Amino acid sequence: MDTERDVEDLIAEAAAAPVDGWGFDWLAGRAAEERPTWGYARLVADRMAHADAALDVDTGGGEVLAETPRPPRLLTATEAWPPNVEVARRTLRRVGATVVAVTPAAPLPFRDASFDLVVSRHPVHTDWTETARLLRPGGTFLSQQIGAGTMRELSEAMLGPLPPPNQRHPEQAVAAARAAGLRVVDLRQARLRAVFHDIGAVVWFLRKVIWTVPGFTVDRYRPQLRALHHRITTEGPFVAYAQRFLIEATHP
């Protein structure tokens, strides 16, 4: 039943829920997103098993790295968002990783050629020159990245029509990697269906994945949220599409 109390209760619940870390368990039963067929966590685990020194950039809460069954001798992770740093330190104790708090856009505090493996899942920004600096000769960079126009349908539900995206295209990543002196050995793309069953799931997602609607707050977007709630209750779940690409590059 589409009532004012229902929509406000759902919004308030989601607005109060914690969004620390990079897990999405809060959405269980309320929203779901397809996963790429390549299995990023499995690929990372395989690369880690053969690495000596590895770095996870933008580890979030360390959720993916913590799944590594055979961590390398030296395992380090970086995170720039302060609330996630402590979450990652707790999560990654079991794999013996050191979590380093860093400043966005600043050079990473490691010597040249420190790692034979660098990984990153959904980085905010990939500094390809810095990545090349950190890799040893023969080393590998493996990353699952957010593609151009991801969750565009949800962004437009809040912001209205948007121009075509001009960033996060896989071809741009390939060109930047090559310009930094790396050799791209694998590139895969996926368009993944995401389904939101209630407006609370939308609110929580927008609070967590902040680049979907920059500057999102419930108060600022309450009219759009109420309109989307009405759409969900009358037409069924809201569907958007996430764009992902996997890129693997090596240092000659």
Alpha-carbon gap, residue 193 to 243, rounded angstroms: 9
Task: Please answer whether residues 71 and 44 qualify as being in contact, where contact means their C-beta atoms are separated by less than 8 angstroms.
Answer: no
Give the pLDDT means over successive 10-residue stretches in the chain (252 positions).
Answer: 74 94 90 97 97 97 95 97 94 97 94 98 95 98 97 98 96 98 98 98 96 96 97 97 98 96
CA 130/CA 215 separation, integer angstroms: 28
222-235 helix and 4-16 helix, angle to the nearest 10 degrees:
120
Contact 153, 33 (CB under 8 A): no
Ramachandran area for residue 131 (φ above 0: left; ψ -120 to 50: alpha; else beta): alpha
Instruction: Report the C-alpha gap between 40 and 20 in whole angstroms.
Output: 22
Taken as a whole, the chain contains a residue count of: 252
In 3D space, the residue among 226, 252, 249, 228 whose CA is nearest the CA of residue 239 turns out to be: 228
pLDDT at 22: 76
Would you say the C-alpha torsion 127, 129, 135, 137 has a positive or negative sign?
A: positive
* pLDDT at site 3: 58
Q: What per-residue confidence (pLDDT) applies to 5?
A: 62
- Would you tell me how many other CB atoms lie within 10 Å of the CB of residue 81? 18
Please give the pLDDT value at position 102.
97
- The pLDDT assigned to 177 comes to 98
In sequence order, what DSSP letters do the residues of 133-152 get, joined into one string? HHEEEEEEEEEEEEPTTTTH
222 CA to centre of own chain: 25
Residue 104 CB contacts under 8 Å (≥ 6 apart), including other chains: 80, 124, 125
